[in-house]
Amino acid sequence: MSLSFSESLLIILIIAVITFALRAAPFVLFSGTGTTPKLITYLGNTLPPAVMGMLIIYCLRNVSILSAPFGLPELIGVVTVAGLHLWRKNNLLSILGGTVIYMVMIQFVFT
């Protein structure tokens, strides 16, 4: 553990409180059926895929494509996950397969 007990606990509680607040917000704000502002509905529909795109880049943010190995292990990992997923549509297989290939790449191939 690089953080103290109380720092760790605080992080978990912050995440818990904000997540719950978001999930509970509609039940607090709209007690009946309703009149959600159209902009909110629009963002609600379009944000999920945009945020997933953001999260992928976020995960790869520290990859350097200008110095060896030029992001090749990550590229191979991403292609493996996407390929497996388009082929078999099995979440577990795609995640496991891509992760194992990536681990082999950075531990044995691009060392």
Partner 1 sequence: MKQAIKAAFPFTVPVLLGYLSIGVAFGLLFENAGYNFIWAFFMSLVVYAGAMQFIAVSFFYGGIGLIQIAVMTLLVNIRHIFYGLSLLDRFSVMGKKKWYMAFALTDETYSLLCSIKAPPDVDEKKFFFSVAFLNQSYWVLGSVIGSLAGSLITFDTTGMDFAMTALFIVIFLDQWKAYSTHIPALLGLGCTVLALLIAGPDSLVIPAMVLIVAALMLTRKQIETKITDIIKKEDKEL
Binding site for partner 1 (CB under 8 A): 1-3, 8, 10-16, 18-20, 22-27, 30-34, 36, 39-62, 73-74, 77-78, 81-82, 85-86, 91-92, 94-96, 98-99, 102-103, 105-107
Give me the amino acid identity at 56.
I
Query: Nearest approach, Cβ of 81 to partner 1 (angstroms)?
Result: 5
CA angle 55, 60, 65 (to 5 degrees): 145
> Is 44 or 70 the residue whose CB approaches partner 1 more closely?
44
User: In 2-103, where do the E strands start and end?
Assistant: none
Residue found under tokens 């494509």: 65
Query: Nearest approach, Cβ of 7 to partner 1 (angstroms)?
Result: 8
Query: Nearest approach, Cβ of 108 to partner 1 (angstroms)?
Result: 10
Tell me the C-alpha to C-alpha distance, in Å, between residue 8 and each of 1, 5, 12, 13, 100.
9, 5, 6, 9, 29
